[in-house]
Amino acid sequence: MADGTLVGASYVPADHVAKVTGRAKYAEDFRAEGMLFAKLLLSPMPHARVRNIDASAALAMPGVKAILTASDVPDQNGAEKALTNEPFYAGEPILAVAAVDELTAAEAIEKIQVDLEPLPFVIDPLESLRPGAPNARLDGNVWSAPRPPAPGGGPPAPAARETVKWTQEDFASAGEGQLPMGRALEEWSFGDLDAAFKASALTLDETFVVQSTGHHPMETRSAMAYWQNGKVYLHGSTQSVAFTQGIIAGWLGIPPSDVVLICEYTGGGFGSKGAGAVSMAIPALLSKKANAPVMMRISREEESYIGRARTNMSGRAKVAFSKEGRILGLDLFIVQDSGAYGPMGDFRSGGNAASLIYQPAAMRMRAINVITNTPPRSQQRSPGPMQANGIMEPILTKAAKQLGLDQVALRRLNSPEGKALYGPPLPNGQRRHITSAFVKDALDRGAEAFKWNERKARSGQRRGSKVRGVGVTVGPHGAGSIGWDSIMTIRPDGKLYVQSGVGNLGTHSVMDLARVAADVLAMPWDKVEVVWGNTSKSLPWTCLSVGSQTTHAMTRANHAGAMDAKRKLQQIAAMDLGGSPDDYELGGERVHRRGSPGGGLTYAQAARRAIQLGGAFDGHAVPDDVNPMTKTSAAALAGLGLMGVAKDTYPRDGDTYSFVIGFAEVEVDVETGKVSLVDFLAVGDVGRVINPRSLMAQLNGGSCLGIAHALCQKWVIDPQYGLTLARRFHYNKPLTILDVPANMEAMALDMPDPETPVGARGVGEPPVGAGYGAVMNAIADAVGTDVFRRAPVTADIVLMSLEHGKRMHEPLRAHL
Amino acid sequence: MNILTWGRNPWGQWILTHISWGLLWAALFAGLAFLVAHASYMLLSRHRKREAHETDAMEAARPDLPPRIARHSLAARLFHWVMAGAMFVLLFTAFLPIAGVKFPWVAWHWMAGLVLTGSILFHIVHATIWMDFWSIWVGPSDLPELKAELMRELGHDVAGPRPGKYPLGNRLYHLVIVLAGLAVAATGLTMLVRIRTPFLTRNPYLLSDASWGFTYVLHGLAGVSLVGLVMAHVYFAVRPEKWWITKSMILGWITRRQYLEHHDPQRWVAR
Amino acid sequence: MAVIRDVMPAFELLQPASIADALELLDRHGPSAWVLAGGLDSFDWLKDRIKRPSVVVDLSGLAEMKGVRPRGEGLEIGAMTTLTDVVRHPMVQQRFSILNQAAEAAASPQIRNQGTIGGNVSQDTRCWYYRAGWSCYRAGGNICYADTPQAINREHAILGADRCVAVSPSDTAPALVALDAEMVIRSKAGERVVPAEDYFIGPGTDITRMNVLRTGELLIAIRIPGTWAGATFYFEKVADRNVWDFPLVNVASAMVLSGNTVQRMRIAVNGVAARPLRLVAVENAMRGKARTDDALAAAGELAIQGAVPLQFNAYKVPLLRNLVKRAIRGAEGT
């Protein structure tokens, strides 16, 4: 473990002033000589075929420079292209126009005649499974189960589609308001489920509909591109800078070395810009065609369609409880809506998450992954585990009430501990396990800090028209990958330059990670320069900033690189000053003999010696095991100073997961159905804390997304025409600052993960499910466990259930 | 002037929405022009009427006839006036808002439409079973009458047939109004599903955009035709020389003299 | 003709410096002119390229139309007064607190800084079918997309629907109706004063307009009489979010009480019909009555008489009923 003063301390990252003063330049803030503006022509139909495009009137307009159509866009082996001749959803881009300004481009779009042949479409995933219902794609309505990898490797086969229709009997036998369960295409199980249900003291079988929600980062997926000497320079918005370079190259059909991606600031992504956005190809290709720089500013309207959304899931879970509340068996069935493209694997991570946080003794997981003519989905902050929380938590809350158990105690009883098992059985019969979990500690700490018992005592009591309720949920998520690289140099100016290939997506990890290296090298923070935001700046092979993996993955990589640099400092000192490298330690910006601070070599002297020595010392030789991208970058930096460069090869026993416990108290007005969130506490079991202030922001911010899912945020599509209705924020209703309590609290256990040198795990995602489940559980606690089975839980749902004494809301339909 | 009004459906496809409301003004103008033309003509024409002494002679020859000849049964008269009332409500509720007089018209319109439809159904049954069904229709056999009537209009005294129960103009008018009325009622009934009534679940998606467009256009065309037709009808009803017919629609009978003067007793055998 | 949204087309911007100039311009340009107040509603329409005026008359320079002034026992509020200025005005706070609450319930702080009270009462409906540019009745077509078996109409009308089921989104409107305010309307031809209750019109009367303003007319000011100054007021808005949201249902009442007995009252609701509804039956039923549970229940039932829910908005019936009861019962009962 690194023992310095930086890790664990809050600080102000170097880019903050630029961000809060508006000096930071995002993609759409750039300008280039002769720059044109692009606008998109979007499909007005949810599924159609382009028969003809007549752009003659548009091209005849003065100021219109070029038109890009699907035929100009390289094929993506069946995957989504930036433009299409067979739109699969209303709002899918068909063509783009480049003109001297946006007004001209928009007017040109209006002059283009696109002859579209409407094709059959389907909006609701369950509808698609009905006998005789249309398919969203001409070649199928569901994604086939993935084929096993070809023996001996080779490129993975593209995902396959097929047609699955359930029978009338499947639908008829579901029971009122319950999810029908026809043929599933994916299934796994472990343990003796039949025995579990036989032995159960209480069996509950419930259906829950998790809504879809648009990502809607504040910065839309705008991009600007120009070409110089055969290379494309692209100003875009991505969560992951280094990784996105190769992805863009694929979209454009050019080698990665011909792509320069500039993205110093990203106005949020929430998973929708994991590796940029496929639409970034449009200005790049248009720029080539028009032979001029092209700026494509994506409007909020367009972001509603191409900006991605969470997979909605309808889930049905049958759960067997012992009388003590232990979950003996879980039979889970998920219908996932992958939208028009995909396939999305959220349901798999959802099933894994359910098996992890509820630790059922036996479990069966079945799922079907449906294609609909709705805007494309991508991973959205906690993709899968949040949905699992939504499907499972109402059942746990109901079980606790029926068994007379405390809600926290029930979760604690079933919570994972240590190297807990999760997921499907492997071919060898064993199941995977996680690196560590301290969920019971987090529940205990949280219950105390939240004054759970005190609040519980007053829940359910009516004061005037108001009733309070409390809820708790354990939100899980995978929290780290391994095997990435780092590069850093100590240069003759005495400073440490850390190359950061991470995106600057608002989490601070782009800077935070360098503090691990600084701690290892005992470098004061003001002598550390983080180099980021531009693929021409010699970046190492870096993980995607998705799946809460960055903090874990890149603290390990930076630790490895810093240890490499440290060893080289010690070797140089031993070489020049005698003794063995182990006789030397770091301190006061010097490498010196143990116990003799102030002696030895300064870092600046060591850097100059490294350059003289060459070879591995200054980066002219790099380890064999680093990625080719890292080798290229190291070669470019070679000779600038003493280089630390390494791949993370630290061992890890298990898969890294983080957990956040959400505690919520709500007040429900039973005369209006309106829910107010009174208090919220998030407790993180997220390993060692790197940057406390940033961590609290992640815990609060992630919780807010979950709270939004519980209270208000939605996604609405008209089924008759297949068009998005909730196109604006006042329709799709993301959370506002006044919908959360002013004093939202967050805390972290700060217990290091034993399977990583720095002890840190990721945090971005687990708070989402925690917020979602905790708030909904609190509502159920206040007004009844059968009041709702879909989210968001809005006033109409609550009021109608209370008024009629039973659920009145639409049980299964998606996209309301 | 455009005859049709086009709109776009949410997919941007062109759809027919209704006729151009300019046609309303065209129908009003055409109706007025007809009135003026006809009134002027009547002032100047040399329309051949029977002389009083001719009628005296005929009356003397038929003492067997009662002094009052039943022309319209009570049921027939009720039907006519109910239908007329409904028609006026329909026309005013349809076209006043278009003309700029705004008021909540839809409920009045569809209720009057149902009354009209009901009265039409009643009329069809009643006319088929209890009335001389064929007396109102026109056919090739009416050509001699047409010729004779035209000659009389031109001032000649011809021997050709005189009208049976209904004058030819009456029968031609009936034919046109049957076509317009059935079209407007059938389309109107279909359109009930587009609005909220106690009878049907509102479902504007029942028909395709194209079928709806056709329905709306037909309803509109029939509707503006009815404006002209009703204007002409009212005009004739209040003309002095036709007043005896109007009166018969109120009282149900005409005098023996009127019967003999205007009708062909062979073709309408009074009892 | 492809459709593109969210790019404002070009138009001629006219910025008169006096009401007279503004009226002159509106007269000159007739239906091709668009009146711009705070812009919160207008820019939505303009950016979506659905409304395509050739001329926009911007009222933001008309100092005469801004500010709150005493008028007799009451107030006169210039139509271009921002909602923030209405909220902050001490006379509004002290004498007509219901309007203060209603104005503060609207939109968000940023929008209230820019949005005007004239715009808030004169804004168009937010029906998402209509606002998406679908050619419905309100847009001159012959269909209501929100009242079909498939339609998603949770925010739509339960009362007063006539083909169109859109609702008025204004928060200040019911408060002004409850206060018996008057709307001062001026055109080049002269001035007319319309009671707030009659300012708003439903689809039966005119399916393409939400208020009585005709081409060439401007809402100049809103007059609040002293009649209800200092009365017992109640305002409540129920919305999905605590800020930046339109009402699902809101209610405003002004009562003169003697003990627990209602001497006289006015009550109006919004979000349930295309226009704010004054509940005269409730007012009459409560006149001279004590606010007993029975009387409240009866008043609640009167409020929802004739309500016809759509597939997704049946909740508005009990919500309206409960809010009306609450508006009479007052905050102390909660």
Chain C residues in contact with A726 by the CB 8 A cut-off are 128
From the list A780, A556, A551, the residue with the least C-alpha distance to A684 is A551
- Cβ contact, residue pair C129, A718, below 8 Å: yes
Longest dimension (CA), chain A: 86
Q: What is the pLDDT of residues A175-231, one digit of tens each?
A: 999 999 999 999 999 999 999 999 999 999 999 999 999 999 999 999 999 999 999
CB A778 within 8 A of CB A469: yes
User: Mean pLDDT, to the nearest integer, of C67-80?
Assistant: 97
Model confidence over C133-184: pLDDT tens digits? 999 999 999 999 999 999 999 999 999 999 999 999 999 999 999 999 999 9
Q: What is the mean pLDDT of residues A387-400?
A: 98
Give, in order, the Cα–Cα distances in Å from A333 to each of A180, A185, A282, A313, A364. 9, 11, 39, 10, 8
* CA of residue B124 relative to chain centroid, distance: 15
C318 exposure class (CB count in 10 Å sphere: 0-12, 13-18, 19+):
buried
CB B242 within 8 A of CB B173: no
Nearest-Cα distance to chain A for C79, in Å, is: 24
User: What's the mean pLDDT in B74-83?
Assistant: 90
The fraction of chain A above a pLDDT of 70, given in percent, is 100
**Tokens read off for A133:** 């219902």
Chain C residues within an 8 Å CB radius of A106: 4, 7, 9, 49
Give start and end residues of each alpha helix (H) in A431-522. 439-449, 452-458, 509-520
How big is the A-B interface in CB pairs under 8 Å?
12
* Predicted-complex ipTM score: 0.97
- Encode A524-579 in three state secondary structure: CHHHEEEEECEHHHCCCCCCCCCCCCHHHHHHHHHHHHHHHHHHHHHHHHHHHHCC
pLDDT for A245 beyond 70: yes
User: Residue A20 burial (CB < 10 Å; 0-12/13-18/19+)?
Assistant: exposed
Using CA atoms, how far apart are residues B4 and A800, in angstroms rounded to an integer?
46
Test the C interface: residue of A67, A123, A718 with most C CBs within 10 Å: A718
Q: Please name the residue that has the structure tokens 């012959």.
A: C142
Search chain B and give the residue with CA nearest A725.
Answer: B10
Q: Which residues of C touch B11 (CB under 8 A)?
A: none
The Cα–Cα gap between A221 and A349 comes to: 26
B8, B9, B11, B13: best mutation site toward chain A, by most A Cβ within 10 Å?
B11
Taking a C-beta distance cutoff of 8 angstroms, is the pair A617, A610 a contact?
A: yes
Contact C149 B202 (CB under 8 A): yes
Q: Which residues of A touch B (CB under 8 A)?
A: 44-45, 116, 118, 718, 720-721, 723
What is the tens place of the pLDDT at every residue in C5-31? Answer: 999 999 999 999 999 999 999 999 999
Q: How far is C127 from chain A (nearest CA, A)?
A: 10
pLDDT reported for residue B135: 72
Residue position matching structure tokens 């005698």: A578
The C-alpha atoms of residue B17 and residue B217 are separated, in whole angstroms, by 7
Give CA C250 to chain center in angstroms: 11
If we measure between CA atoms, which residue out of A492, A488, A487, A489 comes closest to residue A601?
Answer: A492
| Cα–Cα distance, A182 to A168 (Å, whole number) | 10
For chain C, list the contacting chains (3+ Cβ pairs, <8 Å). Answer: A, B
Tally helices (H) and strands (E) across chain C: 13, 12
Confirm or reject contact between C108 and chain A (CB < 8 A): yes
DSSP label of A728: S
The whole-number pLDDT of residue C332 equals 53
Cα A725 to its chain centre, rounded Å, is 25
- Cα–Cα dist A598/A602, whole Å: 9
Contact A65/A36 with Cβ under 8 angstroms?
A: yes
Band of the pLDDT at A1, cuts 50, 70, 90? very low
Asked if the model's pLDDT at residue B102 lies above 50, the reply is: yes
Cβ under 8 Å to B: C residues 160-179:
161-163
Q: What is the pLDDT of residue C276?
A: 98
pLDDT value at position B1? Answer: 57
Question: What is the per-residue pLDDT for A76?
Answer: 94
Give the pLDDT confidence score for residue B46 in this predicted structure: 66
| pLDDT higher at A46 or B65 | A46
**Among A78-87, A480-489, B141-150, the least confident range:** B141-150
Q: Indicate yes or no: CB of A720 within 8 angstroms of CB of C145.
A: yes
In this complex, the residue of B104, B202, B216 whose CB is nearest that of residue C205 is B104
Cα nearest neighbour of C140 on chain B = B7
Closest chain C residue to A303, measured at CA: C6
CA-based torsion, B93, B96, B98, B100: positive or negative? negative
Q: Which SS3 state, helix, strand or coil, does residue A364 take?
A: strand
Give residues with Cβ within 8 angstroms of C315, minimum separation 6.
A673, A795, A796, A797, A799, A800, A803, C154
d(CA C312, CA C157): 10
Residue pLDDT, tens place only, A604-636: 999 999 999 999 999 999 999 999 999 999 999
Q: If contacts are CB pairs under 8 Å, which of residues 129-168 in chain C contact chain A? A: 129, 132, 145, 148, 150-152, 154
**Are C2 and A113 within 8 A, CB to CB?**
yes
Tell me: pLDDT of C262 over 70. Answer: yes
Return the closest-CA partner of residue A397 out of A473, A495, A343. A473
pLDDT band at C334 (very low <50, low <70, confident <90, very high): very low
Q: Which residues of C touch A464 (CB under 8 A)?
A: 333-334
Chain B residues closer than 8 Å to C147 by CB: 196, 202, 204
Residue A246, both tokens: 């190769």
Q: What is the pLDDT of residues A249-291, one digit of tens each?
A: 999 999 999 999 999 999 999 999 999 999 999 999 999 999 9
Rounded to whole angstroms, the Cα distance separating A399 from A407 reads 9
Contacts of A44 in chain C (CB under 8 A): 2-3
What DSSP string describes C85-146?
HHHH-HHHHHH-HHHHHHHHHSS-HHHHHH-BHHHHHHPPP--HHHHTT---GGGTSS--TT
Residues C121, A758: Cα–Cα separation, whole Å: 60
- A297-341 pLDDT per residue, tens: 999 999 999 999 999 999 999 999 999 999 999 999 999 999 999
C137 to chain B: nearest residue by CA?
B17
What is the pLDDT at residue B255?
85
Distance, CA of A551 to CA of B259 (rounded, Å) = 107
Considering only the beta carbons, identify the residue of B12, B103, B216 that sits closest to C142.
B216
Tell me the pLDDT tens digit for each residue of B172-186: 888 999 999 999 999
Nearest CA in chain B to A91: B11
Mean pLDDT confidence for B161-182: 84
DSSP code for A29 = G
User: Using one digit for the tens of pLDDT, what is the confidence trace for A7-33?
Assistant: 999 999 989 999 999 999 999 999 999
Token readout for C60 is 């933001």
> In chain B, how many H helices and how many E strands?
9, 4
Contact B18, B217 (CB under 8 A): yes
Percent of chain A exceeding pLDDT 90 equals 97
Query: What gap in Å lies between CA C58 and CA C46, rounded to an integer?
Result: 13
Say which DSSP state B18 is in.
E
User: DSSP of C214-254, one letter per residue?
Assistant: PTT-EEEEEEE-GGGTT-EEEEEEE-SSSSS---SEEEEEE
Determine which of A579-593, A732-746, B250-264, C290-304 has the lowest per-residue pLDDT on average.
Answer: B250-264
- Residue of chain B minimizing CA distance to C132: B10
pLDDT over 70 (residue C333): no
Asked which of A729-733, B27-31, C21-25 is least confident by mean pLDDT, the reply is B27-31
Nearest by Cα to A697 from A290, A268, A335, A403: A268
**pLDDT band at C93; cut points 50, 70, 90:** very high
Contacts of A808 in chain C (CB under 8 A): 314
Chains that touch B (3 or more CB pairs under 8 A): A, C
